[in-house]
Structures are given as structure tokens and as C-alpha cells.
Amino acid sequence: MELEPAMSPDPANTGWGPTVWTFLSKVGSDSPLVQCITNFVTMDLVANTLLAAGASPAMLHSLEEIPDFTPQANALCINVGTLSPDWIPSMNAAAELASKLGKPWVLDPVAAGASGFRMKACLELVGLKPSVIRGNGSEIIALSKASVGNTKGVDSSHESMDAVEAAKSLAHTSGCIVAVSGAVDIITDGEQVIGVYNGVSMLQKITGTGCSVTALIAAFVAVDPSHALEATASALSVFGIAAEKGMDLAKGPASLRMHLIDSLYGLDQDAVQTCVNISSL
């Protein structure tokens, strides 16, 4: 959701509306506990996104606490944005424990191709069987090829549609759902491919929107782990709808950030089912 969404090739495909609303309302009623091992830059927005949707965030990183706390969480979100050697043991321990206990967890491989250190850490985490991997086009392409190359840091130099085959390949090799954020958000299990067309271009001017939607995916998967593909598409759509609503009131990136959270908090069934824009590709 980093660029202006294209028009859906099938705008009449509204069958997703009830599904998306069911996920959002269940997050609100169940208030899943989402453990977030995420980066310092975006921690505040990630936590507030989860709270606005009705989930319960726990920004817990300490290796010493993971054996006691991770089993209590309903889902885990790992984001490597401000990666350092001290964080890797915590990330690996939490991911390994979540997988062992059958709890869903979601990986955000921020700038995966920027360095060998970062790529190695991401590949180790992929090996610990995340339920979902969400990244931008460049991150997913780099991760699927396990290659380090020219990057724009955390920004993508590829459109999401450029990464469809890479996403399908990564989904096959990892056994997880792969989501690619962009003008059209792409979600695949390696076979079927779904496009989400909700969102606004100004999201790319606010740091942490990708990190936040990754955490929201974790909350949605937490309430129905057996339907991770549908949960992922629903979370991306809800976040995009909130951005669209917020954009109606915003004057720029700073006010969009505020109105995004308010809009997410205030979404009702009619708004969701009217605005959902999801199609099979």
C-alpha cells in the first residue's frame, strides 16, 4: 500500500466484504495478544494500529522473557527493521517457540537485500516457518533469490506486480503465505494470487505503515490461523480502507497518520463491506 492503488480489474467482485468484516469484528471481540519484536523507529505506530483494531500489543523483546511470555501470545510479529546482533537470539527463540506451539507468526523482512548480515538473519527466520511473510517488492524478490544487491534501504525499487513470481516461489519454498505491498497488494499461497486495491499513495510518506500492517496481519491470523491467506488479504484491505477514510480528512502525512488510526478505530460493517476492493488475479 505504498503507491496509488490501481483500479480493480473486477470492481464488482464484492464477495470479500463479509469475510473482511468477520475478521475485523473477531479481532475486536477476541482482542488477540500480539507479541511484537519490532523496530525502534515504528514501535509506536505498530502498537497504536493494533489497539485501534481491537488487538492487544505487547512490545516485548527480551530473550529472558520469551519462554514465559511467548506461549501466552496469540500471535507473534517479527520485524527486522533496526536489526542488531543482540536482537537475533530473541527473534529466533520466539519464532521457534511459536512454531513449536502451533502459534501463528508473521515476518517482515525489512530491507532483506541490503546486506549479507540482514539476509542471513531473514533466511534463518524463514526456516522457522512463519505463517505469513509480508514485504515490499524488492524485499520479496531479494528473499526469494536469497541475494544481496542494490537497494533503496527500506523503500522498494520494484512494483508489487514485478514480484508476483518471486512471491509464488517464496510461498512454495517456505510453505507460508507471502504478501507484497504496493500499488496493488499481492497475496499468494504459491498457487492462487489475490490482489487488494485499497490504500492511498501518501502512505509511503509515513514511516511505519508497512510495519503496522504486518502486525495487523498477525492479529487477523491470530483469530483464524487455518485461513491465513484470507486473514492476510483482509488485514491489508482494512488498513487500506482506513487510509482512504483518513485521507478524506488529512492535509498531509502527519495528519494522515492521526486520521488513519482514528479511521481504523471507527470502521463499521457498512464502511468495510462498501469499500473492500479485492480480486483474484
- Residue 208 gets the label, from left (phi > 0), alpha (psi -120 to 50) or beta, of left
The pLDDT value given to residue 146: 81
Are 19 and 194 in contact by the 8 Å Cβ rule? The answer is no
217: pLDDT strictly greater than 90: yes
- Percent share of the chain, pLDDT over 90: 85
Domain limits of the chain? 18-147+162-280
The listed CATH number (3.40.47.10, 3.40.1190.20, 3.40.50.880, 3.20.20.100) that belongs to domain 18-147+162-280: 3.40.1190.20
Q: d(Cα 134, Cα 9) in Å, to the nearest integer?
A: 23
The pLDDT tens digits for 10-23 are: 444 458 999 999 99
pTM of the model: 0.92
pLDDT interval class at 149 (50, 70, 90):
low
Are 156 and 138 in contact by the 8 Å Cβ rule? The answer is yes
Residue 18 CB contacts under 8 Å (≥ 6 apart), including other chains: 273
pLDDT interval class at 160 (50, 70, 90):
low
Q: Which of 30-34, 90-94, 104-108, 146-150 has the lowest mean pLDDT?
A: 146-150
8: pLDDT strictly greater than 70: no
The pLDDT value given to residue 258: 96
Q: d(Cα 203, Cα 42) in Å, to the nearest integer?
A: 14
